[in-house]
Copies of this chain bind each other. A is one copy, B any other.
Protein backbone atom coordinates (compact mmCIF):
# COMPACT_ATOMS: atom_id res chain seq x y z
CA UNK A 1 0.00 0.00 0.00
CA UNK A 2 1.02 3.53 -0.56
CA UNK A 3 2.64 5.57 2.11
CA UNK A 4 1.16 8.79 3.17
CA UNK A 5 3.81 11.36 3.74
CA UNK A 6 2.96 13.40 6.73
CA UNK A 7 3.73 17.00 7.11
CA UNK A 8 4.44 18.93 10.25
CA UNK A 9 1.22 18.82 12.10
CA UNK A 10 0.99 22.10 13.90
CA UNK A 11 2.27 24.70 11.57
CA UNK A 12 2.26 28.35 12.34
CA UNK A 13 -0.62 30.23 10.88
CA UNK A 14 0.73 32.88 8.58
CA UNK A 15 -2.39 34.08 6.91
CA UNK A 16 -2.66 37.34 5.14
CA UNK A 17 -3.85 40.21 7.37
CA UNK A 18 -7.11 38.72 8.54
CA UNK A 19 -9.50 40.91 6.64
CA UNK A 20 -12.95 41.89 7.79
CA UNK A 21 -14.31 39.25 10.07
CA UNK A 22 -16.66 40.99 12.43
CA UNK A 23 -16.80 38.35 15.10
CA UNK A 24 -13.81 36.41 16.31
CA UNK A 25 -11.33 38.99 15.07
CA UNK A 26 -9.93 39.49 18.52
CA UNK A 27 -8.75 35.93 18.70
CA UNK A 28 -4.98 35.79 18.94
CA UNK A 29 -3.03 33.99 16.28
CA UNK A 30 -1.89 30.50 17.12
CA UNK A 31 -1.19 27.14 15.59
CA UNK A 32 -3.82 25.78 13.24
CA UNK A 33 -5.89 23.18 15.03
CA UNK A 34 -5.73 20.53 12.33
CA UNK A 35 -6.53 17.91 14.92
CA UNK A 36 -9.87 19.35 16.00
CA UNK A 37 -10.79 20.38 12.47
CA UNK A 38 -10.38 16.85 11.21
CA UNK A 39 -11.85 15.15 14.25
CA UNK A 40 -14.94 17.29 13.80
CA UNK A 41 -15.18 16.22 10.18
CA UNK A 42 -14.96 12.52 10.93
CA UNK A 43 -17.11 12.68 14.05
CA UNK A 44 -19.87 14.52 12.24
CA UNK A 45 -19.60 12.27 9.22
CA UNK A 46 -20.21 9.19 11.32
CA UNK A 47 -22.75 10.92 13.53
CA UNK A 48 -25.07 11.78 10.67
CA UNK A 49 -24.28 8.47 9.01
CA UNK A 50 -26.15 6.66 11.75
CA UNK A 51 -29.43 8.19 10.73
CA UNK A 52 -28.88 7.88 7.00
CA UNK A 53 -29.46 4.15 6.86
CA UNK A 54 -32.80 4.36 8.62
CA UNK A 55 -33.88 7.36 6.62
CA UNK A 56 -33.23 5.53 3.40
CA UNK A 57 -35.78 2.89 4.36
CA UNK A 58 -38.32 5.69 4.73
CA UNK A 59 -37.41 7.27 1.44
CA UNK A 60 -36.20 10.32 3.26
CA UNK A 61 -32.96 12.24 3.33
CA UNK A 62 -31.24 14.49 5.76
CA UNK A 63 -33.40 17.42 4.83
CA UNK A 64 -36.52 15.63 6.03
CA UNK A 65 -34.74 14.53 9.17
CA UNK A 66 -33.73 18.03 10.12
CA UNK A 67 -37.22 19.37 9.61
CA UNK A 68 -39.12 16.69 11.47
CA UNK A 69 -36.53 16.68 14.23
CA UNK A 70 -36.86 20.35 15.06
CA UNK A 71 -40.61 20.38 14.64
CA UNK A 72 -40.91 17.43 16.97
CA UNK A 73 -38.60 18.92 19.52
CA UNK A 74 -40.06 22.41 19.43
CA UNK A 75 -43.79 22.00 18.83
CA UNK A 76 -45.52 25.03 17.46
CA UNK A 77 -42.48 26.15 15.53
CA UNK A 78 -43.43 28.47 12.70
CA UNK A 79 -42.12 28.26 9.17
CA UNK A 80 -40.07 31.38 9.73
CA UNK A 81 -38.47 29.87 12.82
CA UNK A 82 -37.56 26.79 10.89
CA UNK A 83 -36.01 28.85 8.13
CA UNK A 84 -33.82 30.58 10.70
CA UNK A 85 -32.67 27.30 12.17
CA UNK A 86 -31.99 25.48 8.93
CA UNK A 87 -30.64 28.46 7.02
CA UNK A 88 -32.25 27.49 3.76
CA UNK A 89 -34.76 29.24 1.52
CA UNK A 90 -38.48 28.87 1.96
CA UNK A 91 -38.68 27.23 -1.45
CA UNK A 92 -36.32 24.49 -0.36
CA UNK A 93 -38.12 24.08 2.90
CA UNK A 94 -41.48 24.12 1.18
CA UNK A 95 -40.70 21.07 -0.90
CA UNK A 96 -39.47 19.02 2.02
CA UNK A 97 -42.20 20.22 4.34
CA UNK A 98 -44.87 19.31 1.82
CA UNK A 99 -43.66 15.72 1.73
CA UNK A 100 -43.73 15.44 5.50
CA UNK A 101 -47.23 16.93 5.61
CA UNK A 102 -48.52 14.70 2.82
CA UNK A 103 -47.13 11.59 4.43
CA UNK A 104 -48.50 12.46 7.83
CA UNK A 105 -45.33 13.11 9.80
CA UNK A 106 -46.23 16.71 10.51
CA UNK A 107 -49.44 18.73 10.80
CA UNK A 108 -50.09 22.46 10.59
CA UNK A 109 -52.29 24.70 12.65
CA UNK A 110 -52.98 28.38 12.22
CA UNK A 111 -51.51 30.57 14.94
CA UNK A 112 -54.06 31.87 17.43
CA UNK A 113 -52.62 35.33 17.94
CA UNK A 114 -51.46 35.66 14.35
CA UNK A 115 -53.48 33.57 11.96
CA UNK A 116 -51.05 34.00 9.10
CA UNK A 117 -48.60 31.78 10.90
CA UNK A 118 -48.59 28.05 10.35
CA UNK A 119 -47.61 26.39 13.58
CA UNK A 120 -45.98 23.03 12.97
CA UNK A 121 -46.43 19.90 15.03
CA UNK A 122 -45.13 16.38 14.65
CA UNK A 123 -47.67 13.59 14.58
CA UNK A 124 -47.18 10.37 16.53
CA UNK A 125 -45.68 8.95 13.37
CA UNK A 126 -43.28 11.85 13.16
CA UNK A 127 -42.39 11.58 16.83
CA UNK A 128 -41.63 7.91 16.45
CA UNK A 129 -39.23 8.54 13.59
CA UNK A 130 -37.46 11.32 15.43
CA UNK A 131 -37.07 9.24 18.58
CA UNK A 132 -35.76 6.32 16.61
CA UNK A 133 -33.13 8.40 14.89
CA UNK A 134 -32.20 10.29 18.04
CA UNK A 135 -31.81 6.95 19.78
CA UNK A 136 -29.19 5.87 17.30
CA UNK A 137 -27.33 9.11 17.69
CA UNK A 138 -27.62 8.91 21.46
CA UNK A 139 -26.06 5.46 21.36
CA UNK A 140 -23.02 6.93 19.69
CA UNK A 141 -22.88 9.87 22.09
CA UNK A 142 -23.28 7.66 25.14
CA UNK A 143 -20.56 5.42 23.87
CA UNK A 144 -18.29 8.40 23.42
CA UNK A 145 -19.06 9.81 26.85
CA UNK A 146 -18.64 6.50 28.59
CA UNK A 147 -15.71 6.50 30.92
CA UNK A 148 -15.58 10.25 30.97
CA UNK A 149 -16.16 12.01 34.26
CA UNK A 150 -18.95 14.54 34.74
CA UNK A 151 -16.44 17.34 34.47
CA UNK A 152 -15.26 16.05 31.14
CA UNK A 153 -18.78 15.65 29.81
CA UNK A 154 -19.46 19.19 30.91
CA UNK A 155 -16.38 20.33 29.04
CA UNK A 156 -17.74 18.77 25.84
CA UNK A 157 -21.01 20.59 26.24
CA UNK A 158 -19.27 23.84 27.02
CA UNK A 159 -17.05 23.47 23.98
CA UNK A 160 -19.94 22.80 21.62
CA UNK A 161 -21.89 25.75 22.95
CA UNK A 162 -18.90 28.02 22.50
CA UNK A 163 -18.51 26.87 18.90
CA UNK A 164 -21.89 28.34 17.99
CA UNK A 165 -22.42 31.88 16.72
CA UNK A 166 -24.07 33.93 19.44
CA UNK A 167 -24.89 37.01 17.41
CA UNK A 168 -28.52 37.08 16.41
CA UNK A 169 -29.57 33.69 17.73
CA UNK A 170 -32.93 32.42 16.58
CA UNK A 171 -35.62 31.24 18.95
CA UNK A 172 -34.60 27.61 18.95
CA UNK A 173 -30.95 28.36 19.42
CA UNK A 174 -31.72 30.73 22.26
CA UNK A 175 -33.65 27.98 24.00
CA UNK A 176 -30.82 25.53 23.60
CA UNK A 177 -28.17 27.92 24.79
CA UNK A 178 -30.21 28.95 27.77
CA UNK A 179 -31.03 25.41 28.75
CA UNK A 180 -28.92 24.71 31.79
CA UNK A 181 -28.48 21.37 33.48
CA UNK A 182 -31.45 19.20 32.72
CA UNK A 183 -33.98 21.78 31.64
CA UNK A 184 -36.60 20.16 29.43
CA UNK A 185 -36.79 22.06 26.21
CA UNK A 186 -40.33 21.91 24.91
CA UNK A 187 -42.56 24.89 24.09
CA UNK A 188 -40.76 27.59 22.26
CA UNK A 189 -43.72 29.78 21.62
Interface residues of A (CB under 8 A from B): 1-11, 13-16, 18, 21, 23-24, 27-28, 30-49, 52-53, 62, 65-66, 73-78, 81, 87, 111, 113-114, 117, 119, 131-132, 134-146, 148, 151-153, 155-165, 171-173, 175-176, 179, 182-189
Across-interface contacts of A65 in B (CB, < 8 A): 1
Decide if B158 touches A148 in the complex (CB within 8 Å): yes
Q: What are 8 A-B residue pairs whose CB atoms fall within 8 Å in the complex?
A: A3-B76, A4-B74, A4-B76, A8-B184, A18-B135, A31-B138, A40-B44, A45-B87
Bound: A162/B142 CA distance, A: 10
Complex Cα distance, B140 from A73, in Å, reads 27
Assess the A4–B117 pair: CB atoms within 8 A. no
Q: Is the CB of B75 within 8 A of A5?
A: yes
Could you tell me the distance between the alpha carbons of A145 and B139 in the complex, rounded to whole angstroms? 26
Do residues B75 and A160 form an inter-chain contact, with CB atoms below 8 A?
A: no
Distance in angstroms from A121 CB to nearest chain B CB is 9
